[in-house]
Amino acid sequence: MSDPKSSQSLKRELGVVGAIALGLGSIVGAGVFVSTGIAAGVAGPAVIIAVAIAAGVAVCNGLNSAQLAASHPVSGGAYEYGYKYLNPLLGFTAGWMFLIAKSASAATAALGFAGYLLNVLGITNRTFLVPTALAAVVLLTLIVLGGLRRSNVINIAIVSITLLSLLFFVIAGLPTVISTEFDNFTPFFQSPKDETDNNVAAVLQATALMFVAYTGYGRIATLGEEVREPRRTIPRAIITTLGITMLLYLGVVVVGIGSVGAETLGTVTNKQVAPLEIAARSFNVPGSGLILAIGAVTATLGVVLNLILGLSRVLFAMGRRRDMPSFVARLDASRDTPYIAVLIMGTIIACLVLIGNVSTTWSFSAFSVLIYYSISDFAALKVPDNERLYPKWIAWLGLAACLFLAFWVEQQIWLVGIGLVAIGLIWKTFISKLFK
C-alpha cells in the first residue's frame, strides 16, 4: 500500500465522545424509525428474534471493524482494509459496494425524514414526500461542505434529541403494552402468505434488513484518519455505540409491536414512512406522537448527515488511489473537506431519493452492505497475530453470517446487486486505468 500524500491527509479532530456521537448519529435513525416497520411487516412479532440475531452479527462485525481501524487508521474503511490485507480487486469491491449500499441507506433516511416531518405538519399528500427529502439532502450536503468540526457539533445536538425521544417512546409506551396483555405478540410467527413462504425465511430476511440498521458504527472506522489516538479511541467508541444501540432497538421494537401490532407497523411504513409515530399515538400520554416525530426528524437528518460524511471519505480514498478520477480527492483550502467527493455523493443520494420507496432502497442497501462487511471480516482474518485485539473466530463468524444473510433479501434485489458488483469489477479492470 502506498501511504497517502501529506497534502491529501485529513486532520485528526475526533475524540472518544465525538466518535461515539458520530456512531450513534449514524445508527439511530432510519434503522430504528423506518426499518423496524419494514422488518415487522416481513416477520411479524418474530422480528424481535431478527433484532437479536442482527445485534449478534453486528457485534462480530463491530469488533472486526475496530480491529482493522485500530491497526490501519485511515479514511476509507473496508476499501483501504481490502487493499492492505487482501488484494486490489477485493479492496475496490468493498469501496464500490459501500458507495452503493450507503447511498441507498441515505436515500431511505431522507425519505424517512420527509415522512415524519409531513406527518407532524399534518400533510397526508405523498406528492410532497420526494421534494421534501431532496431539500434535506441539499441542505445537509451544504453543511458537510463546511467541514467535520461543524458537522460534528450539529450531529451531537441531533443525537441528544433523538435518544431522548426514543427513551420517551419506550418508557411512555410500556404501560400501553402491558394493558394489552401482550395480545399483539400472538401468534408470534405470522401465517405464511403462500406455500413458498416459511417462518425461518421471514426471520432471516428480517435479520438481513435489521443488520443494516446497526451498521452506522462503521462510520467511526471510515473516519479513522480523522480520529485522535485511533488504536484506543476507535474500539472503545464502536463497542460503546453498539451496546447502547442494541438495548435501545430491543426496547423500541417490543413497545412498537406491543402497542399497535407488527402488521400495522409494516403497513404504515409502506404508506406513510412513519411507523413509530403511529405507535406513539396509541399511548395514554398527550403529545406522544409529536415528541416521537421530532426525534425521528432529527434522527433521520443525522443519518443523512453522517452518511454524506462517510461516503465522501470513501470516494475521497478511492480517488486518492486512482480507482476513481483523481479530482474527487481534492481538498478545500483548510484541508478538512473533500469538497468534490461531498458534492458527488450528495447528488447520487438525491437521485436515489427519486425512487420514493423505502422498502426498495432499504432492501438494496441490505444486500450491498452485507457484501461490504463480508470483505471487511475477511480482511480482519489477515491481521497479523501481533496486532490482533480479538480472537480470529470472531472474524470467521462475522464473515459466514454476512455471506449467509446477504441472499435472504428479495431475489430481484440480490440479482441486481450481483450485476452491480460485476459492473464495478469491469470498471476496476478496464476503465479506471484511464485515470492512472
For the stretch 215-247, pLDDT in tens is 877 667 656 566 677 777 777 788 788 888 888
**pLDDT of res. 11:** 59
Q: Which of 45-59, 162-176, 193-207, 253-267 has the lowest mean pLDDT?
A: 193-207
Alpha-carbon distance of 51 to 205, in angstroms, equals 11
Cα 215 to Cα 55, 123, 219, distances in angstroms:
10, 32, 8
4 pLDDT more than 50: no
Residues 116 and 296: beta-carbon distance below 8 Å: yes
Alpha-carbon distance of 257 to 247, in angstroms, equals 16
Number of C-beta neighbours around residue 6 at 10 A: 7
Residue 403's pLDDT band, with cuts at 50, 70 and 90, is: very high
150 pLDDT more than 60: no
Scan for cell 457484501, then name that residue: 371
Residue 6's pLDDT band, with cuts at 50, 70 and 90, is: very low
**pLDDT of res. 225:** 61
Alpha-carbon distance of 106 to 291, in angstroms, equals 23
- CA angle in degrees (0–180, nearest 5) for 409-415-416: 100
Residues 188 and 254: beta-carbon distance below 8 Å: no
Alpha-carbon distance of 199 to 203, in angstroms, equals 6
Q: What is the mean pLDDT of the chain?
A: 82
Residues 238 and 23: beta-carbon distance below 8 Å: yes
- What DSSP line would sit under 272-323, residue for residue? HS-HHHHHHTTSSSTTHHHHHHHHHHHHHHHHHHHHHHHHHHHHHHHHHTTS
Question: 183-197, 274-288, 366-380 — which one is most confidently predicted on average?
Answer: 366-380
Helices (H) and strands (E) in the chain, counts: 18, 0
Alpha-carbon distance of 283 to 265, in angstroms, equals 15
Q: Cell numbers for 199, please give them.
A: 417462518
Q: Cell numbers for 283, please give them.
A: 399511548
Residue 135's pLDDT band, with cuts at 50, 70 and 90, is: very high
List, for residues 284-337, the tens digit of each pLDDT value. Answer: 888 888 888 888 888 888 788 878 888 888 888 888 888 888 888 888 766 667
Task: Pick 430 or 366 by higher pLDDT.
Answer: 366
Scan for cell 454476512, then name that residue: 402
Alpha-carbon distance of 384 to 8, in angstroms, equals 27
Number of C-beta neighbours around residue 130 at 10 A: 17
Q: Cell numbers for 7, please give them.
A: 497534502
Q: Cell numbers for 423, please give them.
A: 459492473
Residues 248 and 95: beta-carbon distance below 8 Å: no
252 pLDDT more than 80: yes
Going by C-alpha positions, the residue among 427, 49, 118 that lies closest to residue 277 is 118
Alpha-carbon distance of 42 to 32, in angstroms, equals 15
DSSP one-letter code for 126:
G
- Tell me if the bond preceding 175 is cis, omega within 30° of 0: no
